[in-house]
Amino acid sequence: MISRRDFLKVGIATGGGLLLGFSTLAETRAADAVGAHANGPDASASTEPDFVPNAWVRIAPDGQITLVVSASEMGQGAMTVLPMLIAEELDAEWGRFVTEFAPASQTYANPLLGGQITGGSATVRGFYTKMREVGATAREMLLQAAARQWGVSANSLITEPGRVVHPASGRVAQYGDLAEAAASVPVPGSVMLKSEQDFRIIGKPTPRLDTPIKVNGQAGFGIDAQPEDVRTAVIERCPVFGGTVKSFDAAAAKAVKGVIEVIGLPHGVAVLARDYWTAEQGRQQLKIDWDPGHLADLSSEGITQALREGVEAKARTATKHGQGAAALPASGSKSVFRAVYQAPYLAHTCMEPMNCTAAVTDQGVTVWAPTQAQGKAQQAAAQAAGVDAAKVTVHTTFLGGGFGRRSEADFVTEAVTLAKRHGHPVKVVWSRPDDVQHDYYRPIAYNELAAELDAQGMPKTWVHRIAGPSIWQRVAPSRVKDGIDPSAVEGAADLPYGIPNLEVTYALIDPGVPVGFWRSVGHSQNAFVVECFLDELAAHGGHDPYEYRRKLLKGQPRYLGVLEKAAEMAGWGKKTLPKGHHHGIAVAKAFGSYCAQVAEVSIESGKPRVHKVYCAIDCGVAVNPAGIEAQMQSGIVYGLTAALSGKITLKDGRVQQQNFNDYPALRIDEMPTVEVAIVGSGVDSGHTIGGIGEPGLPPIAPAVVNALRAATGKPQRELPIQL
């Protein structure tokens, strides 16, 4: 239910429309509240004098419903699934919806995350109830408005898509006709939400609202921003992390026709021109003397050695039950199996490289950014310009991929800094080498595991030691408790398998390479480690890997549900596979969702070939099955890229990879057939709703590796896969 206090705001939009919002903050004016739009007019161009930026729903006299969406759209379908929630409870005509991106404001914070950020597979999880309540409240107010006009009881009225109906008399009113009257109706103290069996939109495969404008080229991405008199800037950054500029010679760069200015920054040198090509040509002529700093000797070998030496010496216990590691017999026992697993640094390589456009004037700062974190972008811009955050307007554009990389604000800081110094709007564009070599990488991880098997080959003790850098230590140090970064141990510390003695430790070791959130974060490494080591134990004990998991997952019905469904889809143990083909299986829980995958793999010309992937997902409530299927496929693609070829290495403090030739993405001819099954728990089941943007990724690497172990008899304990 939504309370009168929580609902907050009702207003009359120009032309007699109904406007509904959530904000408990003081109402503020913003002429350019929404700078980019998905499927409707730019709110900044609106002539509606009483439009307020903290409004979420607007119903116009013509019946058009506008939803302001705070979640960034980076291909995951946020700008479709959130309107679906409102439309369901509002009983709206789907074709009458338009969507607009929200401005930067804590008003639009995700209730689950506490900030205006898109990440953690939290868009639907955070807004599921809230968006439905807004729709239900609007519907109730429209019913009350019609009841007043017709002199009947609201209980005698029903709604059909886009209209209120009085069955007894046959009278009908379109929502737009009632919008002005509804705006004067008192906000109901509470509203009832639909039962699952009454859903008309939720649970139905729904085409995305942003598809048409992406097809016809109307969708505006960050790199498309083109304010008047804008300059394009490229930056030659120090190739060593933390390095700075000692001195530079810009004479040759300035001599390039079209180069407007060269500006020195602490971490690099920027070249500004009217277009990217000219700026890049000027960049090639720069002569820079770098101070590489204290990381000049950093290497992949040295980092791995530091992790190996510290994994036990610096260990802190993340979780322990039973006797933990103390239950392991003395070394040399034949019942104890040990293994070392390693996962490398990974880059994000969003298809749209990092970019941001900024304008700084006496009135304030305007930013056009493909950002996952509007509040963070606003604060970064304010700091760079030396102004209060209230003077910063952030226009969120479409994102050409995010994966956690765009939750950072380094590209915003660069654009605002240059715009302020140059005196004109500046668009900073990163090249692909810039993107690969100056990322906030998925952390490297070094894992030591030990397990003792009983007489039946089942694990009775499990010890998992993890060493690696911490994301939260940089982003929000308070999240690191007693030396434990929760993102580093997720998927390991919450092991679902019924093992009597368990201990998981973590050693925080920071080599100095910047690390950040990468799609599925710690689950991306730990699912690989846990699920592959478990397969090894099954083989040692003479068990089928699928049946082994089933025995260990007693009392875990949702894990079992997806595991059994994926095995059924693949015909595990029943279907005759083509010669040389093998199955591997894995299951993981991430961000509230349960996902199991079976990979069908062969070895061709000495390399793994993934033919098919069978994926079962339980996310609690399947709001848009079409979107869920797409996100499972997407997670599998991203996870396969990492498993087969993803690895960032360092030498002399420098990243050695620079483009898709040495940091390849999965090619279309390498893409397996993917079958997705949604194992529904349902909204009325009592289960919390799970995310979908990331849970499809963790199981794919172990499923493929386990298939290769079945094919070769040899474990693969390091990524990317090398046969």
222-242 pLDDT per residue, tens = 999 999 999 999 999 999 999
Distance CA 104, CA 36 (A): 12
Last residue of a domain, one of 408, 429, 450: 429
pLDDT digits over 585-635, tens only? 999 999 999 999 999 999 999 999 999 999 999 999 999 999 999 999 999
| % of the chain with per-residue pLDDT over 70 | 92
Evaluate if residue 47 carries a pLDDT over 60. Answer: no
Structure tokens at 386: 């030396």
Structural domain range at position 114? 50-214
| % of the chain with per-residue pLDDT over 90 | 84
Question: Across-strand partners of 429?
Answer: 355
Q: Provide the pLDDT for residue 27.
A: 27
Q: Provide the pLDDT for residue 107.
A: 84
pLDDT band at 44 (very low <50, low <70, confident <90, very high): very low
Residue 73 lies in a domain: yes
pLDDT digits over 684-706, tens only? 566 789 999 999 999 999 999 99
**Within this chain, do residues 334 and 448 fall inside the same structural domain, yes or no?**
yes
Average pLDDT score over residue span 133-147:
93
What is the arrangement of strands in the sheet containing 501-508, beginning at the earlier edge strand?
Answer: 316-321, 501-508, 459-468, 445-453, 336-343
Distance CA 303, CA 444 (A): 9
**Within this chain, do residues 206 and 120 fall inside the same structural domain, yes or no?**
yes
Average pLDDT score over residue span 108-129:
96
Residue 42 lies in a domain: no
Distance CA 497, CA 530 (A): 10
**Within this chain, do residues 405 and 289 fall inside the same structural domain, yes or no?**
yes
What is the arrangement of strands in the sheet containing 426-429, beginning at the earlier edge strand?
Answer: 259-265, 268-273, 231-237, 426-429, 355-361, 364-369, 392-396
Average pLDDT score over residue span 59-71:
84
Residue 39 lies in a domain: no
**Within this chain, do residues 266 and 335 fall inside the same structural domain, yes or no?**
no
Q: Provide the pLDDT for residue 34.
A: 27
Residue 25 lies in a domain: no
pLDDT digits over 428-457, tens only? 999 999 999 999 999 999 999 999 999 999
**Within this chain, do residues 405 and 517 fall inside the same structural domain, yes or no?**
no
pTM of the predicted protein model: 0.93
**Within this chain, do residues 95 and 115 fall inside the same structural domain, yes or no?**
yes
**Within this chain, do residues 55 and 161 fall inside the same structural domain, yes or no?**
yes
Residue 22 lies in a domain: no
Sign of torsion, CA 467 471 473 474? positive
Q: Provide the pLDDT for residue 94.
A: 86
pLDDT band at 57 (very low <50, low <70, confident <90, very high): confident
What percent of the chain is helix, strand and coil (3-state, nearest 5)? Answer: 35, 25, 40
Q: Enter the DSSP assignment of 481.
A: B
pLDDT band at 49 (very low <50, low <70, confident <90, very high): very low
- Among residues 407, 517, 510, 502, the alpha carbon closest in space to that of 461 is found at 502
User: CATH no. for residue 643?
Assistant: 3.30.365.10
DSSP states along 77-126 = -HHHHHHHHHHHHHT--GGGEEEEEPPS-GGG--TTTSSSB--TT-HHHH
Last residue of a domain, one of 214, 249, 275: 214
Asked if 454 contacts 405 with a C-beta cutoff of 8 angstroms, the reply is no
Sign of torsion, CA 422 428 432 437? positive
Mean of the per-residue pLDDT values of the chain: 92
Q: Enter the DSSP assignment of 156.
A: G
Distance CA 439, CA 532 (A): 28
Evaluate if residue 38 carries a pLDDT over 60. Answer: no
**Within this chain, do residues 89 and 185 fall inside the same structural domain, yes or no?**
yes
**Within this chain, do residues 55 and 130 fall inside the same structural domain, yes or no?**
yes
444 — phi, psi (to 5°)? -70, 155
Length of the chain: 723
Evaluate if residue 8 carries a pLDDT over 60. Answer: no
Average pLDDT score over residue span 499-514:
99
Q: Residues 99-130, buried b or exposed e (16+ Cβ, 10 A)?
A: bbbbbbbebbbbebbeebbbbbbbbbbbbbbb
The CA distances from residue 255 to 250, 280, 517, in Å, are 9, 13, 41
Last residue of a domain, one of 429, 461, 483: 429
Number of domains in the chain: 3
Residue 16 lies in a domain: no
Residue 504 lies in a domain: yes
Average pLDDT score over residue span 43-72:
62
Average pLDDT score over residue span 334-357:
98
Average pLDDT score over residue span 169-186:
92
pLDDT band at 15 (very low <50, low <70, confident <90, very high): very low
**Within this chain, do residues 394 and 271 fall inside the same structural domain, yes or no?**
yes
- Among residues 615, 709, 600, 634, the alpha carbon closest in space to that of 341 is found at 709
